[in-house]
Amino acid sequence: MTSPIPLRLALVAAGGAIGTAARLGLGLALPAPAGGGLGAVPWATLVANLLGAFLIGVLAARLPGSSAVRILLGTGVLGGFTTYSAFAVGTVTLWHAQPWLAAAYAAGSVVLGIGAAVLGLALARPRSAHAQAHG
């Protein structure tokens, strides 16, 4: 059963506020890059996006797409926590200083993000009775 539209909007707004605050906290814990080499990688953005992809995979495996909890946590909290725009800006900024590292960061972020989502889905999917009996 789906929630009424005003309720869904309120859930996304409340979750988004929590998610963006959590991302800010992560950014404060892992400060903006300085220097060269791997120190120039925007680690907070990478961690937020990989952790968010994993957790969205878990939610997708466990909760129906229209449930209020999935709307709050998936679209709201994790949508606010993960950030494509910071990923894009971080990649361009890194590109100016170290193009090869920027390319590796961008490709790695996409591949690892997909891998994290797949892992979240795989770990959280309920096992069938047959698989549990033989696995």
Q: Is 79 assigned to a binding site?
A: yes
Residue 3 is given by DSSP the state P
Amino acid residing at 37? G
Asked if 36 and 97 touch (Cβ cutoff 8 Å), the reply is yes
82 marked as part of a ligand binding site: yes
What three-state secondary structure class fits 42?
A: coil
Contact in structure between 68 and 5 (CB atoms under 8 Å): no
Residue numbers in the known binding site for Na(+) are 79, 82
Residue numbers in the known binding site are 79, 82
